[in-house]
Chain A
Amino acid sequence: MDKMISKIYPVFLVGVFLFLMMATVRPSSANQADAARPSPDQLQYEPLFFELPKAHRVVLENGIILYILEDHDLPLVTINAFVKTGSMHDPAGKEGTAELTAQVMRTGGTTRLSSREIDRQFDLIAASASIAMAMESAHVGFSVLTTHLDKGLDLLSQILIHPVFEQGKLELARQLQLEEIRRIKDDPQKLAMREFSRLIYHQDPRGRFPSSASLTEIKRDDLTAFHSRFFLPNNIMFAVSGDITKEKAVEKIKQYFGGWNPKNSATDFPAPVQQPQTGMYFIEKDIPQSTIISGQFATGKNHPDFHAFTVLDFIVGSGGFPSRIMSTVRNNEGLAYSAGSFYRARPDYGIFGSYAFTKTSSTMKALSLINTVLENIKAVPVAGQELTWAQKSINDGFLFSFATPEQIVRQQMTIEYEKLPPDFLTSYREKINRVTVQDLHHAAVKYLDQTKNTVLILGDGKNPDHPLPPGGYTVIAPID
């Protein structure tokens, strides 16, 4: 057995990990050995020591939470910031407001500089600055050469604090969004994923997506209102990493963001209502390959079942070639290049899904293979060896979550952003290791309930190869 000893100090930030990768003797005789080629399972490795770099956490007077990690390898400073907002806060009938707010903050000028001037100055120093809106958050990405830090921060603070949303740039962003909606139909996976989300998040704000009608309704005032509701110093966290000291980072963030005034904001988001449209759905598209997505709500990161479900998902379909869906649908039957499962865990809920892209004639076969995998893992206990493989893979791969300072500081900020317990990362490996065969069975029975499944197939329904079951499905029309 692989022995792994983690000696973890109470505070995560100064943890020292010790990985002992001992020789493993596997019962299988698969990997035969000779003198020149020792069995790969019996190679001996030196122990590995790892001291996790220490990140600083600072709270500014106006509420900005700052995580800082120095790294002077490259003359760059990088900022990742999270804002508690998201497209789930789009006003009803004006879906797309959050997205347009983010885009036009970046492109629509500020109280001091016109949109053109902002673009020009960012480009001259080759700084990259972006604001990306997601369903339950916004992410600000910023990277600049150390020598241009002041200029870059000045511009970044302007677009975050004082955007003016020039009407012309709002129109441009709106038109680009309308075109994006037209073009999603050309991309089977994107289209299927959006429509799957609409079915899963039925009756929930997360299930509303921009349409040409809703985009047309959005006025400049809507953007201003959205911005002033969410883009607040007490609603943002910064992770600063790179060629900058802690003192300098605090000083600079204070200098450029210290004047940003906090406001009360109600930003505790309710969990989704969880009333998905279950059953079989179909989207017609004349292409030779069907897209199959099938899934349901699962548990969240704060729930005791989280670690067991993470291992379950890995075994079912997200653990590469040896995982069950991949190995059944792809390796064994040659029915797909892409097949597997995904588990998107949020603090208080998660979405689990499985997928395969397969030629029209094998659509139903691929779906039935996926269903068999899911039924089988409920009915038959997982073998100890398969569990060990999943645990080792997840835990050793976890090392790479800390491969760059940017990742490290971002990870630590995310814990606080998602309101996870402070020991979430430090206890992660141990909790994964503690998952038992019984836990997997329990999680499979509890969360993989076929009657709660939403199944979406996108493909060529007119094809004589019949990609669809004989009856019992609903045809849906994608958003226009």
Chain B
Amino acid sequence: MKACKILKAALLPAFIFIFIAAGSGHASDLKEKVLKQKLPNGITVLMLKRHLSPTVSLYIRYRVGAVDETKGESGAAHFLEHIMFKGTTSIGTNDYQAEKALMEEIKNAGRRLDAEKRKGQTADPETLANLSAVLKKLQDEHKKYFLPNEIDRLYTENGGLDMNASTGQDVTSYHVSLPANKIELWARIESDRLLHSVFREFYTERDVVMEERRQRVESDPEGKLYEKFMSAAYTLHPYGRPVLGWTEDLMNLSPDELEKILEKYKDPRNIVIAVVGDIKPEPTLKLIEKYFGGIPPAAEKTESYIPAEPPQTEERRVNVAFDANPSLIIGFRKPNAPAREDYVFDVIETILTRGRTSRLYTTLVIDRQIAQSVSAVNGLPGSRFPNLFALFAQPRHPHSNIELENDILKEIEKLKTQPVSDEELMKAKNHIKMSYLQSLDANADIASILSYYEVLLGDYRYFADYLDNIDKVTAADIRQIAARYLNSNNRTTAFLNKEGG
């Protein structure tokens, strides 16, 4: 095997310096093509014309996420995102006034039931049964006054596709793609659910979120490991809390906690809209202004107090027992984008795990054959605050997490001591450029990226300038940054095993 490799290598044509020029002509002139407008109240609108098909992709993002939750109310931001599909005072109602009174009663009944449940062992079974019956009766009564799923119906019936929403630590996003002539429908719905949302079916939806947690965390070894890993890596900062919320917090959430998050959405400085597709910018902007222009500008920035994570001084380790094959996560703390270090970590991520010839894939999967998979992700779990460079790997039977960890750490040490070759650096940059170009293919992807960086960093041009910044990364940068950040006292390691060891 070895001999064969050397022989073949000697016969190779000179094929070393291939530089992918992504510079001129094509999609990289984003800065000239994207139209950025601020409404008088402070909402940012990004528009990009693309006439390939008569469709448009729409994103609205709020700079509000799980990190903005109050301690003890984890899961509120994600739960709110679910509830935002339940309609508004004018969408989905037969008689809003009747609903309003009933929903107040439902809230009170739900509170009393939650309070009794919190007593645990000492809760009175009869009281529990009575309170549950009262809540059920009110919920059934409420059903007479509303039509469920109206937002979904309106979008799908008008050709909406990929209607979805997501909640992260940093940002909450709502997205849909529509036939290009339906932008007004979007503006009507999104502005209305921002300003006049109604929290219908609250307690039933809370059960749905509990099922989501069972599906994504309690029944999924990877989900479980990720949650434990993050809570070890962050001890004080809310990045350590799961976006889905801790079970104990989740089962006690009431409409009031969600209302607090929704209030934060309403600061126009927290709102970014992106419209990409077959559009005419002027009428599009007019429509957006018609529906969103009435939102008052906020007096003061409603920034939540978020405690900084104290400096880490020693390695942290956590073991998770789960009846599944072993896997591990290793994470290192580092500065977040747009810090220069973050670009360097994007290159390190690529060198370590992108492609079959990446260092960790070659070493662990192909040569030593101790791993089933290995991947690196720069920038978890968010980017509004200092974050992590993380490595995910699964040992191949009969190998163990500890063997895998040793080999990963050896490769990381090499980054600090031996400079990356020109060929390897070029290869990594080519990979990054290729992914970058591939991400510019569909309207939805472009709208997503533009709105994400605008809401996160206040400027979508981070993305437009991204490749130039990647090009500036040198072998010396990689060595220096690896030496500064990829150390044991900056590291958290989580193992998942059947025995929990």
Q: Is the CB of A32 within 8 A of B93?
A: yes
Residue A114 interfacial (CB < 8 Å) = yes
Given known A-B contacts A123-B431, A183-B372, A404-B442, A116 and B5 have beta carbons under 8 A apart:
yes
Q: Is the CB of A404 within 8 A of B152?
A: no
Q: Is the CB of A41 within 8 A of B154?
A: yes
A interface residue count range (under 10 / 10 to 19 / 20 to 34 / 35 or more): 35 or more
Instruction: Count chain B CB atoms within 10 A of each CB in A36, A49, A71 and give the residue with the most.
Output: A36
CA gap between A315 and B246 in the complex, in Å: 35
Cβ contacts under 8 Å, A168 to chain B: 1
Cβ contacts under 8 Å, A178 to chain B: 397
Q: Is the CB of B90 within 8 A of A392?
A: no
Given known A-B contacts A21-B181, A43-B184, A288-B218, A331 and B148 have beta carbons under 8 A apart:
yes
Closest beta carbon of chain A to B292's beta carbon, Å? 12
Cβ contacts under 8 Å, A107 to chain B: 356
Interface residues of A in 37-53 (CB under 8 A from B): 37-41, 43, 45-50
CA gap between A2 and B83 in the complex, in Å: 29
* Interface 0/1 of B136-156, CB less than 8 Å to A: 000000000001111011101
User: Contacting A34 at CB < 8 Å: which of B90, B159, B180?
Assistant: B90
Residue B169 interfacial (CB < 8 Å) = no
Interface residues of B in 71-125 (CB under 8 A from A): 85, 90-94, 96
Given known A-B contacts A107-B356, A389-B153, A406-B441, A289 and B215 have beta carbons under 8 A apart:
yes
* Interface 0/1 of A397-428, CB less than 8 Å to B: 10110111110000000000000000000000
Residue B34 interfacial (CB < 8 Å) = no
Residue of B nearest to A118 (CB): B356
Q: Is the CB of A359 within 8 A of B52?
A: no
Interface residues of A in 338-395 (CB under 8 A from B): 338, 357-359, 389, 392-393, 395
Closest beta carbon of chain B to A336's beta carbon, Å? 5
Q: Is the CB of A126 within 8 A of B434?
A: yes
Residue A261 interfacial (CB < 8 Å) = no
CA gap between A76 and B430 in the complex, in Å: 13
Q: Is the CB of A74 within 8 A of B54?
A: no
Cβ contacts under 8 Å, B130 to chain A: none
Q: Is the CB of A31 within 8 A of B156?
A: no
How many residue pairs, one in A and one in B, have C-beta atoms under 8 Å apart? 257
Cβ contacts under 8 Å, A143 to chain B: 434, 438
Residue A188 interfacial (CB < 8 Å) = yes
Residue A113 interfacial (CB < 8 Å) = yes
User: Contacting A404 at CB < 8 Å: which of B52, B206, B209, B356?
Assistant: B52
* Interface 0/1 of B184-215, CB less than 8 Å to A: 11001100100000000101111111111011
Residue of B nearest to A113 (CB): B8
Given known A-B contacts A175-B369, A183-B372, A337 and B208 have beta carbons under 8 A apart:
yes
Q: Is the CB of A186 within 8 A of B325?
A: yes
Residue B489 interfacial (CB < 8 Å) = no
Q: Is the CB of A289 within 8 A of B219?
A: yes
User: Contacting B154 at CB < 8 Å: which of A32, A40, A119, A179?
Assistant: A40
Q: Is the CB of B215 within 8 A of A334?
A: no
Closest beta carbon of chain B to A214's beta carbon, Å? 18
Instruction: Count chain A CB atoms within 10 A of each CB in B21, B221, B357 and give the residue with the most.
Output: B357
Residue of B nearest to A319 (CB): B156
User: Contacting A400 at CB < 8 Å: which of B161, B206, B423?
Assistant: B161
Residue of B nearest to A358 (CB): B211
Closest beta carbon of chain B to A9's beta carbon, Å? 18
Q: Which 7 A-B pairs have the closest CB atoms?
A: A396-B159, A334-B207, A337-B212, A334-B204, A186-B324, A126-B434, A126-B430
Chain B positions near chain A (C-beta within 8 angstroms): 1, 4-5, 8-9, 12, 15, 18, 20-22, 25-27, 50, 52-55, 85, 90-94, 96, 147-150, 152-154, 156-161, 163, 177, 179-182, 184-185, 188-189, 192, 201, 203-212, 214-215, 218-221, 294, 323-325, 355-358, 365-366, 369, 372, 394, 396-397, 423, 426-427, 430-431, 433-434, 437-438, 440-443
